[in-house]
Structure 1
Amino acid sequence: MTSPAAESAPDNRASSRAVSAPRDPARRRISGAVWAALAIVYVVWGSTYLGIRIVVETMPPFVSAAVRFVVAGLILGALVAWRRGPTALKVTRKQLASAALVGLLLLLGGNGLVVLAETSIPSGLAALLIAVVPAWVVVLRRASGERPGLGAYAGVALGLAGLAVLTLPGLSGEVRIAGVLTVIVATVMWSVGSFSSSRLPMPADPFAASAYEMVAGGIGCALVALGRGEHRGFVLADVSPRSWVALACLVLFGSLLAFTAYAWLLHTAPLSLVATYAYVNPVVAVLLGALVLGEQLSWPIAVGGAVVVAGVCLIVSTERRR
């Protein structure tokens, strides 16, 4: 996983309008740009699980996450300043605090915990467990007073049914339960961060917000790495070339390209539609894990993957009709 910026809002009233605006039928039409951004998030983020697994082969988890997000955040901030001028990075204290909080929830709590989990569980299984994110999002939406359509509930149920089938191989005891629980906690953190991002006073420019979020999340990961003592005994020369290449791909594609696409989607599309990436990413991740790392690809994965995709189609079609 990687992450967002949000509905920009100078005050609570504006935030309420930003949240309620997508209910306008004219604005709920899904444009070609939205589909293109969704495709980037679907495919690129699906491949990040493979990249993370390769990186942590020779690099400590939170050290790698810190480097990834701080570097990506600084590059994105520089690009925003270059293309739109330094004033695009200007934010109030409240906006900066909101961006930092969302960044910590998404990138330290959400992504950082996934990186940690992948030191003990396969990349494909980590991605499959992430599929519970839309379920948490629906719960959060319902708790906030929204009423997702029956199709959304049915899509979540179908997706979770696919998840159950997909995780059958992991229930045999071959996977460490601690890693599984770590990913589940990560999904909760990610869901809360995504949901909160549209209700907090974020920077007006979603890409500037993404830059602040990534730097804040990266700093958080660095502090956790220090607390865990990951720097002790760590030597840069011990990092393999393929881990460096994977880390570079995570920075350029996973963080800069897909993260900013996700940020734009959170600013433009319904949250429940954006959350469907969590159903598609596992399919991509499982296939890549099997092809590149030789992770097991069995009939439960094939059947479960088909059910997951069906759930995505149901949720997307429901959002298009509303």
Structure 2
Amino acid sequence: MTTTIATRPPVFGLSPLLIACLAATWLVWGSTYLAIKYALLSFPPFFQMGTRFIAAGALLMVWLRWRGTPMPTRAEWRNALICGTLMLGGGMGGTAVAETSVGSGVVVAFIAVLPLIIALINLCYGVKPGRMESAGIAVGVVGVLMLTQGASFQASTHGLIAVTVACVSWSIGSVLSQRTLPLAPGAMGFASEMLCGGVVLMGLAAASGETPVWPPQPEAVAAWFYLVVFGSLIAFNAYMVLLAQASAGLASSYAFVNPVIAMLLGVAIAGESVTGFEWAAVAVVLAGVVLLVGSRAKQTPGQ
């Protein structure tokens, strides 16, 4: 009897699509913190994020309309505005504001609390994480805390407030888009959310009097294009697919992997040294991710 590729069981109970989405959120988002820093050389935080998501959302929507995908309904536009305001306006906007005065290590460390916040919010919907998923969240948080030990984090008060608002806003928006405020089906929902969130961010940019540096530095322009294509069109859409088809813990597992990616980029690009303790922390983080991935096999999509 011959075993074909189609009959082989998915890895860890995950489909190829979910594996690809995990790879995008883990690897690409781990590199976007560095890209945001470079883009801030010429583009202030709200302006940077607003133009990024408007460009990505418009490109995606034009492509979908060309393929005949129907536009969102009025209710779906409303949901996109609410979720876009929370996830992109508060979440991504707050992250960019934080990175103007807070070390990237602090920002990445804060992101580790996202799975806990999302799990707490999901309790309001009667959704409790399983034992393996709870263990994965706990182990992952411990690993990230280990990863940040020994580093000298200096942050302004408003920067810490910004990253806190970013984490809470992103978590609330994630749960609402998954539970009570459905977007338009498929990629059209993601496009409408990016457009709405981008408009909100541009409003914040205008209200705060932001103006970009002109002419922009080449590094800032390259970073902005990277954020549009990889951070928005690829990774953000991958995250929304995970929210729709995977558990909340698995969808937010990037929060544990991103600090590892950020550390490796620091070694490769900035020539930073990594101690044995920090490599041990990486092992703990990855152990938490393995537990989260393993928990997916025992849950149904959307749980």
- Partner residue in 2 for 1:7: none
Equivalent of 2:15 in 14, 26, 31: 31
**Worse-superposed segment, 287-296 or 58-67:** 287-296
CA contact (8 A) 1:130 1:184 kept: no
Identical-pair percentage: 38
**Worse-superposed segment, 303-312 or 293-302:** 293-302
- Partner residue in 1 for 2:195: 215
Q: For residue 79 of structure 1, what is the amino acid of its counterpart?
A: W
Change in Cα spacing, 1:295 to 1:76, as seen in structure 2 (3 Å) is: farther
Matched, 1:162 2:143: yes
Q: For residue 58 of structure 2, what is the amino acid of its counterpart?
A: L
Change in Cα spacing, 1:223 to 1:290, as seen in structure 2 (3 Å) is: farther
What TM-score comes out, normalization by structure 2 length? 0.88
Alpha-carbon distance between aligned partners in 1 of 2:171 and 2:73, rounded to the nearest angstrom: 25
Alpha-carbon distance between aligned partners in 2 of 1:111 and 1:298, rounded to the nearest angstrom: 31
**Worse-superposed segment, 293-302 or 32-41:** 293-302
Alpha-carbon distance between aligned partners in 1 of 2:204 and 2:263, rounded to the nearest angstrom: 29
Gap runs ≥5 in structure 1: 1-25
Deviation at 1:294, TM superposition (A): 5.2
SS state at 1:321 partner: coil
Alpha-carbon distance between aligned partners in 2 of 1:202 and 1:283, rounded to the nearest angstrom: 32
Alpha-carbon distance between aligned partners in 1 of 2:61 and 2:43, rounded to the nearest angstrom: 26
Question: What are the residue-to-residue correspondences of 1:22-101 with 2, within 5 Å?
Answer: 29-83=13-67, 85=68, 88-101=69-82
CA contact (8 A) 2:105 2:153 kept: no
CA contact (8 A) 2:21 2:242 kept: yes
Alpha-carbon distance between aligned partners in 1 of 2:273 and 2:165, rounded to the nearest angstrom: 25
Alpha-carbon distance between aligned partners in 1 of 2:159 and 2:270, rounded to the nearest angstrom: 19
Any idea what the Cα deviations from partners look like across 1:179-236, whole Å, max 9, x if unmatched?
A: 23422221111111111102234344221111111111111111111111112xx442
State the aligned residue count.
289
Alpha-carbon distance between aligned partners in 2 of 1:304 and 1:124, rounded to the nearest angstrom: 14
CA-atom RMSD, angstroms?
Answer: 2.1
Deviation at 1:168, TM superposition (A): 2.4
CA contact (8 A) 2:65 2:71 kept: no
Matched, 1:132 2:101: no
Change in Cα spacing, 1:296 to 1:123, as seen in structure 2 (3 Å) is: farther
Equivalent of 1:176 in 148, 156, 161: 156
Alpha-carbon distance between aligned partners in 2 of 1:56 and 1:98, rounded to the nearest angstrom: 30
Change in Cα spacing, 1:220 to 1:161, as seen in structure 2 (3 Å) is: same
Change in Cα spacing, 1:65 to 1:49, as seen in structure 2 (3 Å) is: same
CA contact (8 A) 1:70 1:219 kept: yes
